[in-house]
Structure 1
Amino acid sequence: MMRRAFIAAGFALAALTSGLATPALAADAPPPVTAQDHILGRANAPVTVIEYASFTCSHCADFHNTVLPAFKAKYIDTGKVRLVHRNLPTPPANLAAAAAVVAMCAAPERYFDVAAVFMRDQAGLRVTGPQPWFAAGIAASGKTRDQIQACMETPAGRTALDQQIEGADKAGVTGTPTFFVNGTMVMDHSLEALSAAIDPLLR
């Protein structure tokens, strides 16, 4: 039953991944946060942390599975930080891009639910193959398979993902996960490293 959705996803994402940008040599600030971004936390939090991540990146999964719960309790739930999640597909980029578009096609309030499922189940991809992985993500999306498929066939998903890739390229992102704490790049995803960048901004 899932085969039709994945065939459609494959066609849609062949185009998505064909023009993945190469890393820029000159870095700039990441694009400002807009209503199109996916955000955890209060809009008026004093610190903004922008995360560039890939759903097929093991270090990204490590952050989401082992660091994010404590980070969320310490900073997001207390209103100190808003976390902005942006996508930068890494190999296998076709799977990462497909997962990114599934998450972006989800009901708005379900984006991070889908992200959590993809990160949680990422380690099993080599064993199970992509179909159960995508099925679990779609199940968390708040939409039907047909709705997700229809969304993935529109240009909107490609445009949104292209913009995130372009923004990462211009900001000099060369790997995932990469964080920007109020515009300053942090490449260590440990709670200690992120705290060292965030805490001085809260004093």
Structure 2
Amino acid sequence: MPKSKPSKSKKSAANRSKTSKSKPVVIVAGVVLAATLLGLASYATTKPSSPSASSGSGGAVAEVSADPADGVYPELEAYARRDAADKLAMGRADAPVVLIEYADFKCGFCGKFARDTEPALVKKYVDAGTLRIEWRNFPIFGEESEAAARASWAAGQQGRFWEFHKAAYAPGAKEKGFGKERLTALAKEAGVADLARFARDADGSAARAAVSKDQEQGYSIGATSTPSFLINGRPIAGAQPMEAFTQAIEAAAKAAAEKPAAEKPAAEKPAAEKGKQ
């Protein structure tokens, strides 16, 4: 007995169901293209060059081209804030290269990057004025991640973000958790002077808004894991080897040097200074 064909109404319902399941969610309107580009580029930067290729840090070796234009997307380069008053950034606001890091304090590979790679990048490129590092809180591991992100922002309000960052990523730190008392202890270790203010700031609406803004930016451009990076619009996914970062930074610096003077980055003035104009 032949099978009956599904009715048109059933077919359309099935198609609608498939469409709704596969439709991507983009948090910030207008960056669908950037999200797609980041997804494609993240795959390209993390695929192994051979079946056995591995970075030894939980991800494949990044294939970063020395070509300054390869794998770079202007849509993503525009996410650098270059705000001279940004307390969660280091390096010249008008540095030719900006590395944006989307990370979580409970992420083991973020800690590996913070301990093994970032200090060398600071010494080689930030101190020389070539690189600026901009942090984005991207908590994806639950309530303690959110609390640690807000605490880092609060430490930053007293000029101790990077000291808090170092303490929170110290070996064994995340295994102790990020409860309220532990976060206060980390703030004290980081040299935060006013711990009462730190506690208020960490639990305040400004901290929640700042973390939410960073999260939305990360999700809107397609970041789905930590750490994720943008280096002048070139995506790099994971705690890749030092060579992947140096190659990307040097290619970006070369491209920046070749730009006409009118296209070179300028530091954004602090809000207080803008108001005087």
TM-score, normalization by structure 1: 0.79
Deviation (angstroms), 1:51 = 0.4
Greater per-residue helix proportion:
1
Residues 4-39 of structure 1 show CA distances to partners (whole Å, capped at 9, x for unaligned) of xxxxxxxxxxxxxxxxxx974940636341444621
Distance 1:134 1:167 in 2: 25
> Which one of the candidate residues 150, 153, 158 is aligned to 1:104?
153
Question: How many residues matched?
Answer: 179
SS class of match (1:109): coil
Unpaired runs of at least 5, structure 1? 1-21
Deviation (angstroms), 1:74 = 1.1
1:49 is matched with 99
> Which one of the candidate residues 214, 218, 228 is aligned to 1:178?
228
> Which one of the candidate residues 112, 117, 120 is aligned to 2:170?
120
1:151 is matched with 201
1:31 is matched with 79
Q: Percent identity?
A: 27
* Structure label with greater radius of gyration: 2
Distance 1:195 1:23 in 2: 33
One-letter amino acid of the structure 1 residue matched with residue 137 of structure 2: N
With over 3 angstroms needed to count, the CA separation of the structure-2 counterparts of 1:39 and 1:23, relative to structure 1, is farther
Unpaired runs of at least 5, structure 2? 1-23, 36-74, 255-277
Q: 1:138 touches 1:144 (CA, 8 Å); kept in 2?
A: no
Deviation (angstroms), 1:145 = 2.8
- Say if 2:163 is the partner of 1:81: no
Deviation (angstroms), 1:124 = 4.2
SS class of match (1:120): coil
Distance 1:36 1:80 in 2: 18
Deviation (angstroms), 1:109 = 2.2
Q: What stretches of structure 1 move > 2 A for 4+ residues in a row?
A: 22-26, 28-32, 34-37, 123-126, 128-133
RMSD: 2.3
Distance 1:23 1:133 in 2: 35
Deviation (angstroms), 1:152 = 2.6
